[in-house]
Amino acid sequence: MHTSSDNSMLETQGDQHDSLNRLYTSNSAEDILRFYEHFEGPTQLVEWMKTRRSGRAAISERVGDSEVVVVIPTADVEGEYARKCTQIYRGLQILFVESGRGDPYFNYARNSNAGVEYAIRRHSPKWIIISNDDMSKVDEPSVLLQGLSTLDHRKTRLVYPLPPTSYHSYTVCIAKPTRLRNALYRPLVEPFSERLRLYRKFQVEYDVGPLGGPFAKLYTRIQTFRLTGSITILSAAYASSVGGKVFDETYINSVEDVDLSLTLSLEPQTIAEVNYRIADMVGGTIGGFSRTRTLREIANWVYFNHKARNQGFTHQGITNPPPHE
């Protein structure tokens, strides 16, 4: 039986949770840094992420061929991006998952999963596509359908559309920093020094980056794989096997694709490719890679590393990482 004191305590906890979320979603870098000050270490931060409220997820359909269902999280189903998507995927069954503009609890992984679960429950697709709404058309949908028709949807889990762009189907690596990286970052100005400080506090050992350039000199490569990024093509059979929960919903608007891509890369025989050109607008919906977005993303790398330490990704090099240098 709940007492008035129990209700008061729950309200207090809810208020504190909302206050922290306001700091986390703020457009002020100083607010986001204050958000991280409320946690002593990774366990507390991950617990907050796991108990974060759910945002709005209203599903709106555009009728088409339901053999391939396209799930598109969007802020406004009547907005410019959504209208463009109806042309990009014209003729296919489209499920828009609308969050509404400015929803402080929007979660891309959660809204994607809501659409996938709906697709499985209401339709009988062979393939499910999760697409960002800020995409640009190159090839007709018929090109995609032709490519998918050559694949066995019962044996294939993940399909990469090629050629890759700078935001989908490109090759990355999981890596950990060298002593040189840490030595170089310490004297640098923000945001490098603040990121290093937060990485140390929250025990972030692993990061993801390109195969070449400065990253390759400052990090030790562990595992190479393709990243789904802005468009994820999955067999409905695989999506059903995980109950529609294709993305880990603890992640908040980034890194969920890294987790999924890495996990499925461990069984390469279930991965295929199709020739289907589609372009993207990096950060068209949630903004470009600003200082504030980079700071928010640190929470997701904290969770990724926490997960690696406690669960692992069944890859020998990505379990039980040593303490941060």
pLDDT at 37 over 90: yes
Residues 190 and 291 in one domain: no
pLDDT of residue 187: 61
pLDDT, one tens digit per residue, over 196-238 is: 899 999 999 999 999 888 888 889 999 999 999 999 999 999 9
pLDDT at 20 over 80: yes
Residues 158 and 187 in one domain: no
> Where residue 188 falls among pLDDT bands split at 50, 70, 90?
low
Q: Are 219 and 189 in contact (CB under 8 A)?
A: no
Residue 114 lies inside a defined structural domain of this protein: yes
pLDDT at 321 over 50: no
pLDDT, one tens digit per residue, over 43-55 is: 999 999 999 999 9
Residue 325 lies inside a defined structural domain of this protein: no
Could you give the number of structural domains in the chain?
Answer: 3
Residues 154 and 287 in one domain: yes
Instruction: Provide the mean pLDDT of the chain.
Output: 89
Please report, as a single letter, which amino acid is at residue 138. V
pLDDT of residue 323: 38
Residue 211 lies inside a defined structural domain of this protein: yes
Residues 143 and 164: their CA atoms lie apart, in Å, by: 16
pTM score: 0.90
Is beta strand 231-235 parallel, antiparallel or unpaired with respect to 207-209? unpaired
pLDDT at 156 over 50: yes
Residues 193 and 165 in one domain: no
Q: Which two tokens stand for residue 142?
A: 């018929």
Alpha helix (H) residue ranges in the chain: 4-24, 29-37, 42-50, 80-88, 108-122, 141-149, 179-185, 192-201, 213-218, 236-241, 256-265, 291-310
pLDDT of residue 319: 52
Residues 40 and 88: their CA atoms lie apart, in Å, by: 46
Residue 324 lies inside a defined structural domain of this protein: no
Question: What mean pLDDT is predicted for residues 5-20?
Answer: 65
- Domain enclosing residue 149, as ranges: 58-169+228-318
